[in-house]
Structure formats: C-alpha cells, structure tokens
Amino acid sequence: MVSIDKLKLIMQTEIEAKFLDIKIDNLRTKLRRIGAALIHEECLMRRNVFDNFGGDLRKIGGWIRVRDEGNKVTLSYKQLNDRTLHGTKEISLDVSSFEVACDFLLATGFTCKSYQETKRERWKLDGVEVTIDTWPWIPSFVEIEGVREEDLKNVAAKLEFDWDKALYGSVETAYQAVYKVTEDEIDSWESIIFSPVPDWLEIRRK
C-alpha cells in the first residue's frame, strides 16, 4: 500500500472551505452584484465511490470517485489527511464514460461503496471558484476553492461569510450539522439520492 507521505508528494492539495445553510437566491444576487461570473447553472451530478475489497483506502482516509458532471466525467483519488484548509489531497483525470470507468474499477477488484447524487452550480470570482452544492436531505451549502488561502479569505469576506465558521474536508461535516451521525456511519450509506429523508435518518435529526 502506498504510504501517506508518498501520496502527499504526488497529489494536489484542495484548498477549499465550506459555509453551511446558505440562502441560494440571496447568494446568487450577491454574486451578480459583486461581479462574479456564472460558469454553469445548477445541474445534476452523479457519482460512485469505490474502495478496494479490503477497505485499505478508507483506513488511510482515501476513496476513489467516478463523477458524471454533466459536461464531463472525472475519475479521482481523494484523501482526507485532516480537517484543515490544506488537509485534503486529490489527483484526477477526465474519462470518456461514467459506466466504462466504473466497470473498469469493478473488473480490477475495487468495490462500489456508495452511489450519490448532488446538484451543483459554479461561479468564478477573483480567480476563486464559488460552488453552490445541494446534497440530499440537508440544506444547500457553498464551497470556495482557490490556489491561495488569502484569496479564499478575500472572497469569503466579499460574500459576507464568517471565516471562523468555515468547515474543511469532505461532505460529512454538512450532514453532521443536521443529524447525530458519525463519519463512519455516513461513509457506510450505500446511496445518497434525492428522495424524502429516510426514516432511519429522520430520527437522528438534531
């Protein structure tokens, strides 16, 4: 198994921060007012998340993702080393087919752990990507991603976000803000789809 130190050398750092429970219409109005450019309107995305048969990737905070983004399909390896601004690593490539990429991983011994649906809208402001994300069963949130921490803080200030309330890492933190669930529980969900909140999750609401 590749060591964490080796992966740090070959993977890019995702410098991104999340701000939860936004009002989408208000945010869109603010983005237009301050000169942000709409990259693409809200669209449905689907993804499959994979691990190897023994779950070795999860043991080091990693997972493989195939994502249909509407205009392209990406195959990514992501690794959460810690929940800080610089704690998530990623390496990604474009592929031609969602189904073929998934079949390739299954044929080479990987296991599909989860199917997930989201809606995403992307804007650009001062070289920083501003993404409005909607996941099933939780309020929409925004992610801002860029090359430098200073750039993210400047855009967050323009959007009137409180930087002290920023969250980092994968989407589990957004679910934990709404439900009494652990990261391991969220990672074990076999599907996250746009449907009514399941009874087994509704009873865990905070």
Q: In the beta sheet, which residues pair with residue 75?
A: 66, 93
Name the burial class of residue 58, with classes exposed (0-12), middle (13-18) and buried (19+) by CB atoms within 10 angstroms of its CB: middle
What are 42-82's pLDDT values in tens digits?
Answer: 999 999 999 987 888 888 888 999 999 988 999 999 888 88
Q: Residue 66's pLDDT is what? A: 98
Q: Can you give the pLDDT of all 206 residues of the chain as single tens digits?
A: 455 455 555 667 778 999 998 999 999 999 999 999 999 999 999 999 999 878 888 888 889 999 999 889 999 998 888 888 877 888 899 999 999 999 999 999 999 999 999 999 999 999 999 999 999 999 999 999 998 999 999 999 999 999 999 999 889 999 999 999 999 999 999 999 999 999 999 999 99
78 close to 65: Cβ distance less than 8 angstroms: yes
Q: Which two tokens stand for residue 116?
A: 């997930």
Q: Minimal CA–CA distance to 4: which of 77, 101, 110?
A: 77
Nearest to 174 by CA among 186, 184, 156: 186
Domains and CATH numbers, the chain: 13-202 (2.40.320.10)
Tokens 């009002």 locate to: 23
**Cα torsion at 55, 61, 63, 69 (round to 10°)?**
160
Nearest CA-CA partner of 91 in 12, 184, 192, 188 = 12
DSSP, residue by residue, 145-157? E-S-HHHHHHHHH
Q: What gap in Å lies between CA 160 and CA 39, rounded to an integer?
A: 21
User: Do the bridges between strand 16-19 and strand 12-14 make them parallel or antiparallel, or are there none, so unpaired?
Assistant: unpaired
CA distance 197 to 176: 15
Q: How confident is the model at residue 152, as a pLDDT? A: 96
- Looking at residue 6, what is its pLDDT? 53
- State both tokens at 176: 């934990």
- Pairwise CA distance, residues 67 & 47, whole Å: 4
Say if CB 141 and CB 131 are below 8 A apart: no
- Which tokens in the block code for residue 125? 């402001």
Tell me the C-alpha distance between 47 and 115, whole Å.
6
Q: What is the pLDDT of residue 56?
A: 83
